[in-house]
Amino acid sequence: MRFEDLSQKQMEEICSGCGSKGSLIKPPYAAFFETNCNKHDYSYYVGCIEEDRKKADVGLRKAMAKDSLGTSTSNTNLGASYTMWPSVWAGKAISTMVRKRDSQRNNSCKMIG
């Protein structure tokens, strides 16, 4: 299943937009990048190996940079300022711990049906 084919219920279960799921604090420009962040969440959800997740991270940065270039002059650094948001770095540390745990459990890939 593709990201575009997710039902509203699946989207709510898998994706958190920008920032941590359930958090009241959102990073700067979260609404502007919400679709990019949701696609990133989905890519992590279906990602089976470290390489899949690295591709998702690179894809998110590229999508944010591309979207930032199409904005007004006052917002040309949206992507750059967003990637400096501390939760990006904290999230990376947490996701690394989760990946290690998953690999130790020998988790299989997640499938959406």
The one-digit pLDDT tens for each residue of the chain (113 residues) are 899 999 999 999 999 999 888 888 888 888 899 999 999 999 999 988 889 999 999 999 999 888 888 655 444 455 555 554 544 545 555 555 555 555 544 444 555 54
Tally the domains of the chain. 1
Task: Tell me, yes or no, whether 96 lies in a domain.
Answer: yes
Task: Tell me, yes or no, whether 63 lies in a domain.
Answer: yes
Residue whose token pair is 């919400």: 34
* pLDDT value of residue 22: 81
Task: Tell me, yes or no, whether 112 lies in a domain.
Answer: no
Structure tokens at 4: 């575009």
Task: Tell me, yes or no, whether 111 lies in a domain.
Answer: no
- Cα–Cα distance, 101 to 96 (Å, whole number): 9
Give the residue numbers spanning the domain of 21. Answer: 3-105
Task: Provide the CA 6 distance to its chain's centre, in angstroms.
Answer: 16
C-beta contacts of 57-66 below 8 A and 24+ residues apart? 57/92, 60/36, 63/36, 63/39, 64/33, 64/36
Task: Tell me, yes or no, whether 81 lies in a domain.
Answer: yes
Task: Tell me, yes or no, whether 64 lies in a domain.
Answer: yes
- Cα–Cα distance, 60 to 41 (Å, whole number): 10
* pLDDT value of residue 111: 52
* pLDDT value of residue 94: 53
Task: Tell me, yes or no, whether 12 lies in a domain.
Answer: yes
- Cα–Cα distance, 56 to 104 (Å, whole number): 22
* pLDDT value of residue 55: 93
* pLDDT value of residue 103: 53
| pTM for this predicted structure | 0.64
CA atoms 107, 43, 75, 31: torsion sign: negative
Residue whose token pair is 């575009």: 4
